[in-house]
Amino acid sequence: MSTVLNTSTEEARAGSPANSAARTRGLGSRLRRLNIPAGLGGWLWLAIIIIPVYYVVITSLKTQEGYFGQNPLALPTSPTLENYQLVIEANFARYFMNSAIVTIGAVAPAVLISFMASFAIVRGSGRFLKVVNGMFLMGLAIPLQATIIPIYLMIIRLNLYDSLLALILPSIAFAIPLTVLILSNFIRDVPNELFESMRLDGCSEWQIMWRLALPLTRPAIVTVAIYNGLHVWNGFLLPLVLTQSPDLRVLPLALWTFQGEYSVNIPAVLASVMLSTLPILVLYVVGRRQLLSGLTAGFSK
Amino acid sequence: MSNTVSTSPRTAVSRGESQQTEKRKAALAWLTVPALFFFLVFAVVPLAGVFILSFANWDGIGSIGLAGMDNWFSVLADPGLYNALGLTFLIMIASWLVQTPISLLLGVFTAGSQRYRAALAVLYFLPLLLSSAAVAIAFKALLDPNFGLATGLGLPFLAQDWLGVPHLALGLVIFVIAWQFVPFHTLIYQGGVRQIPKSLYEAAEIDGAGTIKQFFHITLPQLKYTIITSSTLMVVGSLTYFDLIFVLTGGGPGNSTRILALDMYLRGFRANLMGPASVIAVILVVIGLALALLLQRLGGKDKQGSQLEGL
């Protein structure tokens, strides 16, 4: 989508002014006139976004003396990684692993079963599927956090309290409504002729699902996986309520307790913020297009 | 991808199907069973459970007893509920008013094809990567009157006791929520703007409509459903700004940022009153559903069809 848009304007700009005057006027002049106020607003918002991020990055590299002595927005005079070392020694590797286990353990099954359900909802018919779809859609409107007390009760009764599985199971359920919505929108976009031709070739629906729908839905699957991964990775309420042992902390919870313990050592606290975000940042760098473009595919219809 | 939506004819599917394919299609229902199982067990059952628990006595550890209507009477008579309700709606409305125009304008802005806008957009979306806990902790450090932004930028008015004065804390919460969530809605609007057919702008251009006219007569009306989607997510989502506020202010100072979700948590897991906390949870669910239905109603029913009307 975005690439198509870019190339077409690129052409318009590159074309000689004589023969592409009409096209340039169409898009170019409209955007040029917007430029000044929009540009100012754009840079202002950038400042609002980037200053806090910048502050966190530089402060995490400062020594305690630097933090107390320097201008808060000045670059550290003697950058140090000792804060990071302190954070890593505070068992952060363990918390990182916990977060990774919970995230993968929740997202992989959630996406898989949601994909199967979406395929059925799009390709199938009948009252049952309509009801199921309606139920998932309603799940979008319910603030699922409100169910935390019964979930707490169930997790205790299932003897899962204070385990990583206690975080995984509800996370799967919470991810289903949106995942089904996005995936079914994508599967619906597959031209019906493709399904028909596979059916005429004698494929069962099961084969059609894995061999046609799955590859065609791959971008959306990656998208919802990243989207849900982000939510589970950053989730706070479930770990807060359903775990207790320090060894089972996931990163957001660890951040919070760390902040409580090291409230006087702000550089170290901010180093913990940096460390907990780093893997997501790497993901963003690698899979940004997929994450960003896919997110809107589910919502902007 | 989304361009194909309009070309694939929905109506052709239901036309001229044999009985065999009907059966085949009904058999597909099995594929929903795993998802249905998880959703029933960990979303629908808890949802029912929260209604039941609102009539129960439970301290979170011991046995569960019947309380009848007691929880409801005590919570409904508690001024704390109305404080939390009022704050929830205040934060919801303020958040909508702050975030919608900014997200919409940024969405239009980033949908433009200029290089620098694409570069800015990459940075705009950074807050999407941070957990609420991380955002709250970062802002707490940032707002330190001596070692934070106030000193850094040399702006003394920023050196306030942000977390100690009720209306400042409330304003701060609204700002930080916007900081964290505007990027997501910008993304939604960006997608919406990119789906507006270029031909509409070309036609307006020929008619001599300027940028501002085009914005109000083409962009805004074309974004109607995007606005509804974004607003729904924003409004329903605002009921669950739990983690951010919990870490940032803990509901304080006093009860001045104790929204419903936080009130539920504090009653249930701090005061060990699971029954009254469940009453709050039920109220949350009812408000969430009512708002979602209301917003969908506002948007009209024929969502898919009307967006591309007249093309």
Which DSSP state fits A76? P
| pLDDT for res B128 | 84
Size of interface A-B (CB pairs under 8 A): 356
Contacts of B274 (CB under 8 A, 6+ apart): A149, A153, B53, B56, B58, B59, B60, B268
| pLDDT for res A2 | 37
The span from the CA of A136 to the CA of A144, in Å, is: 12
Decide if B106 contacts B230 (C-beta within 8 A).
Answer: no
Decide if B123 contacts A49 (C-beta within 8 A).
Answer: yes
Do the chains contact at A52 and B109, CB–CB below 8 Å? Answer: no
Average pLDDT over residues B162-187: 90
Decide if B135 contacts B179 (C-beta within 8 A).
Answer: yes
Decide if A120 contacts A111 (C-beta within 8 A).
Answer: no
Do the chains contact at B236 and A141, CB–CB below 8 Å? Answer: yes
pTM of the model: 0.83
Q: What percent of chain A has pLDDT over 90?
A: 31
The span from the CA of B85 to the CA of B260, in Å, is: 6
CB nearest B243 (choices: A110, A169, A236)? A236
| pLDDT for res A262 | 83
What residues of chain A lie within 8 A of the CB of B38, using their CB?
Answer: 110, 113, 169, 172-173, 176
Q: How confident is the model at residue A34 (pLDDT cuts 50, 70, 90)?
A: low
Bridge partners, A176 (sequence order): none
* pLDDT tops 80 at residue A35: no
Q: Which residue has the higher pLDDT, A108 or A194?
A: A108
Tens-place pLDDT, residues A219-229: 888 888 888 88
Q: Chain B: nearest CA to A285, how far in angstroms?
A: 9
| pLDDT for res A5 | 37
Q: How confident is the model at residue B303 (pLDDT cuts 50, 70, 90)?
A: very low
Do the chains contact at B149 and A26, CB–CB below 8 Å? Answer: no
CA-based torsion, B106, B111, B116, B122: positive or negative: positive
| pLDDT for res B51 | 93
Burial label, A92 (beta-carbon count in 10 A; 0-12, 13-18, 19+): buried
Do the chains contact at B46 and A50, CB–CB below 8 Å? Answer: no
* pLDDT tops 70 at residue B168: yes
What residues of chain A lie within 8 A of the CB of B205, using their CB?
Answer: 25-26, 29-30
Average pLDDT value over all residues in chain B: 83
Q: Chain A: nearest CA to B169, how far in angstroms?
A: 18
Do the chains contact at B205 and A25, CB–CB below 8 Å? Answer: yes
What residues of chain A lie within 8 A of the CB of B188, using their CB?
Answer: 295-296, 299-300
| pLDDT for res B178 | 94
Average pLDDT over residues B124-150: 87
* pLDDT tops 70 at residue B93: yes
By CA distance, what is A219's nearest residue in B? B1
Average pLDDT over residues A134-138: 87
Do the chains contact at B32 and A116, CB–CB below 8 Å? Answer: yes
Decide if A136 contacts A124 (C-beta within 8 A).
Answer: no
Cα A176 versus chain centre, distance = 14
Q: What percent of chain B has pLDDT over 70?
A: 89
What residues of chain B lie within 8 A of the CB of A55, using their CB?
Answer: 138, 141-142, 148-149, 152
Tokens of B287: 């408000």
Average pLDDT over residues A60-75: 82
- Domains of chain B plus CATH, in order, are 80-310 (1.10.3720.10)
Residue A135 — φ and ψ, nearest 5°? Answer: -65, -45
Do the chains contact at B132 and A27, CB–CB below 8 Å? Answer: no
Q: Chain B: nearest CA to A12, how far in angstroms?
A: 11
The span from the CA of B296 to the CA of A192, in Å, is: 29
Tens-place pLDDT, residues A219-273: 888 888 888 888 899 899 999 999 999 999 999 999 999 888 887 788 889 999 9
Average pLDDT over residues A117-146: 85
Tens-place pLDDT, residues B211-234: 788 888 888 888 888 888 888 888
| pLDDT for res A27 | 57
Beta strands B65-66 and B56-57, pairing class: antiparallel
Average pLDDT over residues A152-181: 92
Residue B65 — φ and ψ, nearest 5°? Answer: -115, 170
Residues B44, B48, B50, CA angle at the centre, nearest 5°? 115
Q: Chain B: nearest CA to A64, how far in angstroms?
A: 11
Interface test with B, best of A127, A145, A263 (most B CBs within 10 A): A145
What residues of chain A lie within 8 A of the CB of B285, using their CB?
Answer: 142-143, 146
Which DSSP state fits A249? -
Question: Per mean pLDDT, which of A21-25, A211-215, B16-20 is the most reliable?
Answer: A211-215
* pLDDT tops 60 at residue B306: no
What residues of chain A lie within 8 A of the CB of B30, using their CB?
Answer: 120
The span from the CA of A173 to the CA of A135, in Å, is: 12
Q: Chain B: nearest CA to A119, how far in angstroms?
A: 8
